[in-house]
Amino acid sequence: MFLTILCMSVSAFICLLVPAIIAIVMIIKRRGSLKAFALGIIVFSMAQLLIRIPVLNLFQNTVWFNLFTATSPMLYVILLALSAGVFEEGGRLLGVKLFLNHDETTWDNAFVFGLGHGGVEAFSLVGIKYIGLIADTLSGKNVAAVSGALAYTYLLGGFERILAVILQIGLSMLVFYAIRKKKPLFLLYALLAHTFIDSYSYILSLMGIKMGVWLTEGTLAVIAVLTIWLIVRIKSAFRDKISEVGGL
């Protein structure tokens, strides 16, 4: 039981606190603003938790929607992923355009914005769930957690959230760059990347290609590494004197 609780606690800590800690350190060092971090939290909360997810829940109670998902699963998966991209990237666009001025659309603010966006996603979708699992395990209600699943599998949730936060930072970079440099094509890049990340494993599954947990996480890790490369490479392009992306 101890190892199971420990693994759950590590994942919960990652989901609930790590993005906030990194953002606070950056803000204290004046490498990002609290305003940008808070805006990232608000944008995800509004776009997903208060609008998109409730609307999808309403649709799931309708006959036409259930018929559509059953008869056109491939199109459903693509549209579902696209809707996530539209709401989140559209939310980023509106949030930055409405509440940040040109001088605030910096690389550092894009980074802390992504931490806020990805952090509240991790908190709301995974962190709270793990807190509940820990409580149930300690009270003896979650017997399967101790006797069935291997303890290390509970680390996957935290590992996946680390990858997801990296991806959210990368997507924020693209949107911030698009706004700062007036290059709307980068908004399209962010939308397409978001749609692909959210849908590729489901599409492959519908095509009969079962990736499994480890291959799925490994693919996400590769995408996250590429995203880190993007985050590093795009930093110099945020300077006002640079008009083109250069080596990107």
The overall average pLDDT reported for the chain is: 91
Are the C-beta atoms of residues 39 and 116 closer than 8 Å to each other?
yes
Give residue 140's pLDDT: 75
**pLDDT grade for 244, boundaries at 50, 70 and 90:** very low
Q: Residue range 69-73: average pLDDT?
A: 95
Q: Residue range 13-27: average pLDDT?
A: 95
Give residue 221's pLDDT: 95
Give residue 144's pLDDT: 62
What does pTM read for this prediction?
Answer: 0.91
pLDDT of residue 111 exceeding 50, the answer is yes
Q: Is 182 left (phi over 0), alpha (psi -120 to 50) or beta?
A: left
Give residue 147's pLDDT: 53
Task: Decide: residue 208, CB within 10 A, 0-12 exposed, 13-18 middle, 19+ buried.
Answer: exposed
Percent of the chain with pLDDT over 90: 75
Closest C-alpha to 85, from 163, 178, 189: 189
Question: Per residue in 81-102, pLDDT tens?
Answer: 999 999 999 999 999 999 999 9
Give residue 213's pLDDT: 82
Closest C-alpha to 11, from 131, 138, 137, 105: 131
For the chain, the structural domain boundaries read 2-238
| Three-class secondary structure of residue 248 per DSSP | coil
Give residue 139's pLDDT: 81
Closest C-alpha to 153, from 2, 4, 1: 4
pLDDT of residue 232 exceeding 50, the answer is yes
Question: Per residue in 130-182, pLDDT tens?
Answer: 998 888 878 877 666 555 557 778 888 899 999 999 999 999 999 999 999 99
